Amino acid sequence: MKKRKIPLNINCGLDLTGEVLFGKWKMRLLYFINEGYQRPSELQRKIPEASKRVLTAQLKELVEHELVDKLIYPQVPPKVEYSLTDFGKTLIPIIKAFGEWGDEHEDRLRAVILKTS
């Protein structure tokens, strides 16, 4: 078990949401799994800029937080598929709202981000 460098802070809903949802690729992983991309290789193709190790770690966290189910088929080579739990599906409208907000303010956000980089 990994030891936390920063103490856990879960005093309010924002802290709780951030603990389970915020990771560079987690929202995209949840969105793509909801869209039907279930195999690790499919998810890697959808997010090529993410390393396999990081995607695997974030998928593991999503499973631990009960947002995603992992099904391992007993065959050689092993086949793995991910699916959203009912609990995970409750996040999809929120993730879509984040995406719509980003699309709506794309030019301004892009300018601000590029200015500070």
Question: What tens digit of pLDDT does each residue of 53-94 get?
Answer: 999 999 999 999 999 999 999 998 889 999 999 999 999 999
Average pLDDT of the residues in 44-55: 95
Cβ burial of 80 (10 Å; 0-12, 13-18, 19+) is: middle
Q: Residue 34: its pLDDT value, please?
A: 96
Q: Residue 2: its pLDDT value, please?
A: 62
Tokens 């396999």 found at:
52
The residues, any chain, with a CB within 8 Å of residue 70's CB and separated by 6 or more, are: 59, 63, 80, 81, 82
Q: What count of other Cβ atoms lies within 10 Å of the Cβ of residue 26?
A: 21
pTM (predicted TM-score): 0.87
Strands 68-73 and 79-84: what pairing? antiparallel
Task: Return the SS3 of 8.
Answer: coil
**What is the rounded radius of gyration, in angstroms, for the C-alpha atoms of the chain?**
16
**What does residue 38 show for φ and ψ, rounded to 5 degrees?**
-115, -25
Query: What DSSP state is assigned to residue 75?
Result: S
- Give the percent of the chain with pLDDT over 70: 96
Bridge partners, 83 (sequence order): 69
Chain mean pLDDT for the chain:
91
